Amino acid sequence: MRSSRTIKNKNKKVYIKYILLTFIIIIPVTAAISGAALHFAVNKDKSIHTPAAVFTPKEDGVEAFKYNYDINAKQLYRVELQKFDTYEEAELQIAKLKKQKLNGFIIKEQGYLNAYGLFWNKSQADTAVQFLKRKNIESTAQLIDISGINIKYSDIDKTLIDLATAVDAAVLKILSEKSALSLESLYSNKKISDQSLEIVIQQEIQLAKYLNYLKDIKTSEVNAVYKEKLENLINELLVDRIQGSGSYDYYSLQNSLMNQGEALMKFYEKLSV
């Protein structure tokens, strides 16, 4: 009888020990394993079902873009006369040029620089230098570098990039045509006909159309800044557009060309900073 009771008590203690072991070790471990499996399943499910977005925010809040748009660097050539400390000194040289039935342009650049023109390539600039040399006027053809830029963009920006490409092509065509026509006028000493200006006129009309398109398109938040600067550039370029009035000679063409060239330089300087 005592032996049977002792066995029962011993079995009871073992049973209690197993129950405690289950609650203390086995259940928490099982729960942890189940939790890890559930976490993995949820994460795996998320990675499968997350929809593709136009652009995906990174952890730091910066938009991630899929594509790159490169605008190549450009080179123009400016025929420079002389640099002065004061505007009055620069004006005196321009007055002397006018006595020879010539002209020039005063540029505020680390003092005051007198220039004779802006040209599309070195050959054209050298031609202008030789023209002045025959009149005993010293000048030099100086390279003007315009830095290229890289823009990162996503699907929502594709229309903006298409327009930027079209604007860039139109501007280059305008500058190259005005440069060639201004030299033609310089040597012929005649005004340029509206027919000869037709390419420039059409390209500047296109710029005005691109400006209207730009106002209505949507962009990513980051490239909204680029869009605004591009609109400002076109507005500045159109200030000096050709009107087709048959009154354009070397100096009026160069005045338009130099103003547009300066606007282009400032545009790329701001973007490359």
CATH of the domain at 262: 1.20.120
Distance in angstroms (rounded) separating the CA atoms of residues 175 and 196? 14
Pair (233, 198) in one structural domain = yes
Residue 24 is classified by DSSP as I
Pair (178, 225) in one structural domain = yes
Q: Tokens standing for 173?
A: 């065509």
Pair (65, 197) in one structural domain = yes
Pair (105, 179) in one structural domain = no
Q: Tokens standing for 83?
A: 């640099």
Q: Supply the pLDDT for residue 63.
A: 52
CB atoms within 10 A of CB 203: 20
Picking from 146, 176, 193, the residue at the C-terminal end of a domain is 146
Q: What total of structural domains would you count in the chain?
A: 3
Pair (115, 64) in one structural domain = no
Residue 107's domain is classified under what CATH number? 3.30.70.1070
Q: Supply the pLDDT for residue 23.
A: 45
State the chain's maximal CA–CA distance in angstroms.
141
Q: Residues in the chain with pLDDT < 70?
A: 1-64, 273
Asked if residues 215 and 231 have their Cβ atoms less than 8 Å apart, the reply is: yes
Q: What percent of the chain is predicted at pLDDT more than 70? A: 76
Pair (190, 272) in one structural domain = yes
Q: Supply the pLDDT for residue 273.
A: 58
Distances from the Cα of 188 to the Cα of 134, 183, 192, 229, 261, angstroms = 15, 8, 10, 39, 24
Which one, of 71, 83, 187, 72, lies nearest residue 142 by Cα?
83
Pair (106, 121) in one structural domain = yes
Helices (H), the chain: 2-21, 27-49, 87-99, 122-133, 158-188, 198-216, 224-239, 250-272
- pTM for this model (two decimals): 0.73
Distance in angstroms (rounded) separating the CA atoms of residues 174 and 167? 11
Distance in angstroms (rounded) separating the CA atoms of residues 22 and 71? 70
Residue located via tokens 């099982």: 30
Q: What range defines the domain where residue 39 resides?
A: 1-50
Pair (110, 229) in one structural domain = no
Pair (106, 39) in one structural domain = no
Q: Supply the pLDDT for residue 64.
A: 60
- The string of pLDDT tens digits covering residues 21-38 is 444 444 444 444 444 433
Pair (5, 122) in one structural domain = no
DSSP one-letter string for 244-272: -SS-B-HHHHHHHHHHHHHHHHHHHHHHH
Q: Radius of gyration of the chain from Cα atoms?
A: 36
Q: Supply the pLDDT for residue 73.
A: 87
Pair (64, 78) in one structural domain = no
Q: Supply the pLDDT for residue 66.
A: 85
Distance in angstroms (rounded) separating the CA atoms of residues 4 and 8? 6
Pair (121, 85) in one structural domain = yes
Distances from the Cα of 16 to the Cα of 9, 13, 26, angstroms = 11, 5, 15
